[in-house]
Amino acid sequence: MNKGAESVGGTCPVTIVGGGLAGCIMAWALREHGREVLLLDRGDELTASRVAAGIVNPVTGPKLTKSWRFEELWPAALGFYTSIEEQTGRQIFHQMPLVRLLDSGQQVDKWNKRLQTPGYAECLAACPLDPGKYLKSEYGALTFDRAGYLDIREFINLTRDMLGDHWRKGELLEAADDGITLFCEGIAGGSNPLFEWMSFKPAKGEILTLHIAGLAQDRIINRGGVWLLPVGGEQFRCGATYDWGCSDSKPTPEGRQVIEKRLDRLLQLPHEVVDHQAAVRPVVRESKLLCGMHPAHDRIGFFNGLGSKGVLNAPFFARNFADYLCGHGVIDPEVDLRGNI
pLDDT score at 253: 97
The phi, psi pair for 142, rounded to 5°, reads: -115, 145
In 3-state terms, what secondary structure has residue 301?
A: strand
Within 115-265, residue ranges assigned H as helices are 152-163, 253-263
pLDDT score at 190: 85
DSSP 52-77: ---EE-SEETTTTEEPTTHHHHHHHH
List the chain pLDDT tens, one digit each, 341 residues. Answer: 344 444 455 678 899 999 999 999 999 999 999 998 999 999 887 788 989 999 999 999 999 999 999 999 999 999 999 999 999 999 999 999 999 999 999 999 999 999 999 999 999 999 999 999 999 999 999 999 999 999 999 999 999 999 999 999 988 877 777 789 999 999 888 889 998 888 888 889 999 999 999 999 999 999 989 999 999 999 999 999 989 888 889 999 999 999 999 999 999 999 999 999 999 988 887 667 999 999 999 999 999 999 889 999 999 999 999 999 999 999 999 999 998 87
CA distance 318 to 23: 9
Termini Cα distance of the chain: 12
CA distance 321 to 286: 20
pLDDT score at 180: 94
Say if residues 320 and 73 touch (Cβ distance below 8 Å): no
pLDDT score at 200: 82
HSE (CB half, 13 Å, CA atoms) of 117? 10
pLDDT score at 9: 53
Say if residues 132 and 164 touch (Cβ distance below 8 Å): no
CA distance 324 to 86: 25
Say if residues 306 and 289 touch (Cβ distance below 8 Å): yes
Give residue 313's Cα distance to chain centre.
7
Say if residues 183 and 192 touch (Cβ distance below 8 Å): yes
The phi, psi pair for 122, rounded to 5°, reads: -70, -15
DSSP letter assigned to residue 285: S
Candidates 69, 27, 64, 56; CA nearest to 334 is 69
The phi, psi pair for 90, rounded to 5°, reads: -120, 135
Number of DSSP helices (H) and strands (E) in the chain, helices first: 7, 19
Answer CATH for 97-145+201-281 from 3.30.1330.10, 3.50.50.60, 3.20.20.80, 3.30.9.10: 3.30.9.10
Say if residues 182 and 14 touch (Cβ distance below 8 Å): yes
The fold of the 5-95+147-199+286-339 domain, in CATH, is FAD/NAD(P)-binding domain (3.50.50)
Say if residues 162 and 287 touch (Cβ distance below 8 Å): no
pLDDT score at 3: 44
CA distance 119 to 130: 23
Domain boundaries, the chain: 5-95+147-199+286-339, 97-145+201-281
3-state helix, strand, coil in the chain (%, to 5): 30, 25, 40
What lies within 8 Å, CB to CB, of 61 at 6+ separation is none
* Amino acid letter, residue 135: L
Say if residues 56 and 74 touch (Cβ distance below 8 Å): yes
Distances (CA, A) of 277 to 51, 155, 265: 7, 19, 22
Domains 5-95+147-199+286-339 and 97-145+201-281 equal at CATH topology level: no
